[in-house]
Structure 1
């Protein structure tokens, strides 16, 4: 539901306590091979691991930004984690263990990506309009970018890197006012120049390059659509158009990822599910958690194992923050880490 995301953003300054939960595992996990949807187009995701419980002060938890590091471990952020508790976690998916990587007293981190340029972990801080970076192990926090872009401070949600390490941000400017002022911002890999590539978007959320790095898939939360933005060799971009209208009902388009075949995995905020489309907009499948899984309200994001098809979906709600797993339709690549 939209209220879950809106509430999470409203309480960022008053975050409550967080406790890492034990491994709530389900032995019925899929194998590591490309899957085909069932006759009704459904792919069933299975509970893999619980990472968080609801924060005491805010009454919620919200997992986001799953991304695989070079060590094969999965990094996950918790948007509403309070100071002193894990805001960035690393999951060993083989051992089903989780440990704290980073925390601070101020940030509200909504996404994570490793840069192909310097290998550092980049985080978007929605609360302060900043992009920060960490050493792969979680230390050496640096502010990569802060300040205004074309007269307005960003509300950065998700991030994507091109091959050169330049960073592309889905700027959700206007979300709290209900205005279509969202942008796509390109920041060069040294953090110097920032350029608006597109504006007038409806709460820009997910962002991912297509398989050939020719353009960006961008999800717009409050219009339930995926737009496609061709991107020039440097900062130029022309010809943005609506590519997919997401039939989400009460759910809304959240983060987005792309597999090796170019398929789009569109997370649904307000429903613990993902819609999967091919690059021409045909709906291929719906990834669902089992109906008996109560207390889960949103599937915000996904990461597909590099070179494999095991996918890990972040799912949150009153029951806590979980990883659910399923077999993707194709192998994971860099674009398969959902911002």
Structure 2
């Protein structure tokens, strides 16, 4: 370092260049971080906190064949709408079906029979209905390998077979994993365990090419990738694919767009985190700051097929809402319910 006539050090050109580089790099990093932050717009309020249950929790958004958006209210009491229809144009909300005891946590239409399938977490079963909520049928119930199942989310393969996250052990610590991923045959309803001893699996979605499953592990805050064999009857390879640093919040349901991006919903904050299939954090979609005080959970999302119009279900003490944002890729089956 050079000195002036008074003996004080003078910064060299190299040092100045380094300082400017650090400043520029910091500014660039801050700009990139800001670009990742996206704000969703409120579309419509769907539900209010139920007096009987003390809460409302919207889940399972899925588009029906006629384009209507259906959502489930997990905590709706007996007699109140368990499945509701949202017209994304008129913003009209109407009931689809109810019953006395179910707690539906996800919804998706089958490519095999075009019926609506709902996972009943409390009842340990999977029900199906027409898109209008009629002709109720219990498609699956009972134990799997001698153990009851807590079916949370589901995904269909191209042939209409069901892949279900069994979130058994949901309240147990990560070091006591009891959850499973279960395949259910579309014709026989025979259940096969594909993976077990998992830390409360929740979200489950096929990759964009149907070669593997992205499974959100609620009690471990990670998203595992399960590569499947050719006929999707066994897990061929598996590894933790994405880790989520959520603090007190935990990962919930997920979805995949046509580009293979993974959209991860979060229980404990009203946000969706978007990752590339290689694990790069691409974006965080949150509700406006002025809304966040009364909304603490984003459970799931659906992207309208063939578009980038995304809809996320958000809930809290202010009620249950649908928010909308522009997705990074187009909607496909893997981003339409589950």
Q: TM-score range by the shorter chain?
A: 0.7 to 0.9
Does residue 204 (structure 1) correspond to residue 195 (structure 2)? The answer is: no
State the TM-score, normalized to the length of structure 1.
Answer: 0.88
The 5-angstrom pairing of residues 1-339 of structure 1 reads 39-178=34-173, 179-232=176-229, 233-293=231-291, 294-339=293-338
Partner Cα separation in structure 2 for residue 330 and residue 287 of structure 1:
14
State the TM-score, normalized to the length of structure 2.
Answer: 0.88
Q: Is the 8 A contact 1:202 1:222 kept in 2?
A: yes
Secondary structure in 1 matching 2:135 = coil
Q: Which runs of 4+ in 1 moved over 2 A?
A: 37-40, 176-179
Q: For structure 2, which runs of at least 5 residues remain unmatched after alignment?
A: 1-31
Greater RCO (Cα-Cα under 8 Å, separation 6 or more): 1
Partner Cα separation in structure 2 for residue 241 and residue 197 of structure 1:
14
| 1:40 shift after superposition | 4.1
Q: Is the 8 A contact 1:144 1:191 kept in 2?
A: no
Q: Is the 8 A contact 2:63 2:337 kept in 1?
A: no
Partner Cα separation in structure 2 for residue 191 and residue 69 of structure 1:
25
| 1:234 shift after superposition | 3.9
Q: For structure 1, which runs of at least 5 residues remain unmatched after alignment?
A: 1-36
Partner Cα separation in structure 1 for residue 179 and residue 270 of structure 2:
25
Partner Cα separation in structure 1 for residue 276 and residue 288 of structure 2:
24
Partner Cα separation in structure 1 for residue 172 and residue 192 of structure 2:
23
Secondary structure in 2 matching 1:239 = strand
